[in-house]
Structure formats: C-alpha cells, structure tokens
Amino acid sequence: MKYDYLIVGSGLFGSVFAHEAHKAGKSVLVVEKRDHIGGNVYTEKIKGIDIHKYGAHIFHTSDKKIWNYINQFAAFNDYHHEVIAFYKGKYYDLPFNMNTFHQMWGIDTEEEAKKIINSQKGSIVDPKNLEEQCISMVGTDLYERLVKGYTEKQWGRDCKDLPSSIIKRLPIRFEYDNAYFDDAYQGIPVDGYTPTIEKMLEGVEVKLNFDFLEHREEFRYEKLVFTGPIDAFFDYRFGHLEYRSLRFENEVLDLPQYQKKAVVNYTDREVPYTRIIEHKYFGCNNASKTIISREYPLEWEPGKEAYYPINNKKSSFALRG
C-alpha cells in the first residue's frame, strides 16, 4: 500500500500531524521504534500514579486556540509547576525571584537584591559564554550555587565552553513569585499523556517496535514526516551531532511524600544526578506510596537515546553547513 503520509515517531508532533491528516481523509502510517506510543511524553501507571517515564512534561501555553485544541483529547488538571533547588543542605526557590534572594542573602526588598547583584556582576559587558552571561545577569553567588554545578552536569561541559544563549531566557523576578511558567493555560492530562496520544491516533495505523531508519526502503509514501535526529536520517554521512542522553533511576517508597515539590534540582556538582522527580504531585496525591525518579545526564553515543542536542558552535556550524 502507498500511504499519503508516513510519520516517523509518535510523540506530540507526530501524533497531532497524524490526527489532522487522518481527519482530512489522508492515508497515514505512524512508525515508532519504541514499544509504545507517545514519545518522551509517555506515561505509565504504577501503583495508581502516572509516571512520566522520560522526565517531567507540563503542558503550558498562552494561546487559547492551542489550549482548546489539546483539551479535545483529554481533561487537564490545573497543575502549576514550581521547582526548588537543593544546594549543600539548603533549599532555594526557582526561578530566581525575591524568595530566592531572601533565602540566599536574607534580604527583603528589590533594591537590596539589585544592589547585591550589581556588586557581583563585575565589568562584563559582552558575555562570551554561559558563565559570563549568567554572572552578568544575577552575580556570582546565584551562579556558583544554583547554576554552575547543575548546568555542567546537565551538559557535560564546563560553563565557559557553553554558549551564552542557553541561559539568556532565565527568568529573573524582583517579586515574590515561584511560578515556573507565566503562561495563562497550564496543566497535565488527568489520566496521563498516553491516553491523550491514544485518542489522537484513533483510526490511524500504527506500527510499534519498528526502526524506520533500518527499513526505510520497505515503505511507499507520498510524503514523509520524520521527527527523529536529523543526522541519523542522513545515516551520519556528515558525522554525528552532539547530544546528551539520560538515565532514570526509579524508586517506589513506602511514604506518602518524599520531597517538597514535584521537581527538586540538585545543583551541587558532587551529586551525580541533576534532579529528583516525585510523580504523584502531577495529579495523584492520595496514593499511600510515592514514586521518585533520579535523573542522571549521560554522554551520548550511537545506540543511546538522544534526548537533546548540545547547543554549541560545532553543532550549529554542522546544521548550517
């Protein structure tokens, strides 16, 4: 059979595209190399708790049209994301706001916070890397305690070797506001993301446990939608881009609660994981047990899952070239 669309990957993008193409009367095949649909937003229920298997995913948008669109596939709760950082025995609120500044320096006003930050910025005018960019924004204390260790674990690179663009969007609020996102619409599907994707793919042919790149000659189609790594699509003939991979260590605990928030970042360089996710915060708060996931960044190599690309000069040049 010749399909109008062959879609590689059943994450949000691939599944939305498949839904719209099917609704338009097109013949569609979705192929997925994993044994489940959903891509990295896949959730599985364990002991009554929806586990975000590939890391925390919170749906957020300020576009009402997008919010109304996604709500046709699932009922969403009103979860609003808040994150805290843990550094050498002390907690700090994120993103940076007056709560963070009070925890760091014991001050209470915007004027005091700005005075300390300005005194620590130094003479950096044109930041050349992530370290300089961050110090020019929030000073040395916040950088060294809450950014440097976490970032170097996450990327596997010294902050001086990472571009300034990575940190430029870091929110800094001179008000008492711990909200991680400012979007008007936020939440997580009440039953998890997997049923949401299932509804998107109703009536669509899906083939699991199938690596398109190993069998691409077996298909006949008019158009291809490929959601995987671009260098893999070209069989790495131009070399490998740089990626980071992740390893998740899950643990079921006989406790009603393990930590203060759904996500706690561990910013000390000596702690091997970057964060701990406690999944019941995302929607199931009445389970007698709790489940946590420790997230360990890994250097990527062929055969490992490429979770996100390293945004550096080498990769940017390769994509432009």
SS (HEC) of 251-263: EEECCCCCCCCCE
Going by pLDDT thresholds of 50, 70 and 90, the confidence category of residue 311 is confident
Across 166-192, average pLDDT: 94
Q: In the chain, what percentage of residues exceed pLDDT 70?
A: 97
Helices 110-121, 98-105: inter-axial angle, 10-degree rounding: 70
Query: Are residues 41 and 112 located together in one domain of the fold?
Result: no
Going by pLDDT thresholds of 50, 70 and 90, the confidence category of residue 315 is low
90 alpha-carbon distance from chain centroid: 24
pLDDT of res. 244: 94
Whole-model pTM: value is: 0.92
pLDDT of res. 170: 84
| CATH number of the structural domain spanning residue 75 | 3.40.50.720
Query: Are residues 87 and 160 located together in one domain of the fold?
Result: yes
State which H helix or E strand residue 186 sits in: strand 185-187
Query: Are residues 159 and 287 located together in one domain of the fold?
Result: yes
| CATH number of the structural domain spanning residue 290 | 3.50.50.60
Q: Which domain holds residue 7?
A: 2-79+185-228
Contact residues for 297 (Cβ-Cβ < 8 A; gap 6+): 153, 154, 155, 156, 244, 245, 246, 274
Query: Are residues 207 and 303 located together in one domain of the fold?
Result: no
Instruction: Pinpoint the alpha helices (H) of 242-298.
Output: none
Query: Are residues 99 and 128 located together in one domain of the fold?
Result: yes
The pLDDT mean for the chain works out to: 94
pLDDT at 303 over 90: no
Query: Are residues 20 and 57 located together in one domain of the fold?
Result: yes
pLDDT tens-digit map of 12-26: 999 999 999 999 999
Give the CA dihedral 261, 146, 94, 155, nearest 10 degrees. -80
Query: Are residues 163 and 252 located together in one domain of the fold?
Result: yes
Query: Are residues 75 and 91 located together in one domain of the fold?
Result: no
Q: 23 by DSSP, 3-state: which?
A: helix
For the chain, the domain total comes to 2
pLDDT tens-digit map of 83-131: 999 999 999 999 999 999 999 999 999 999 999 999 999 888 899 999 9
pLDDT at 317 over 60: no
pLDDT at 320 over 60: no
Query: Are residues 148 and 282 located together in one domain of the fold?
Result: yes
Give the CA dihedral 248, 249, 254, 255, nearest 10 degrees. -50
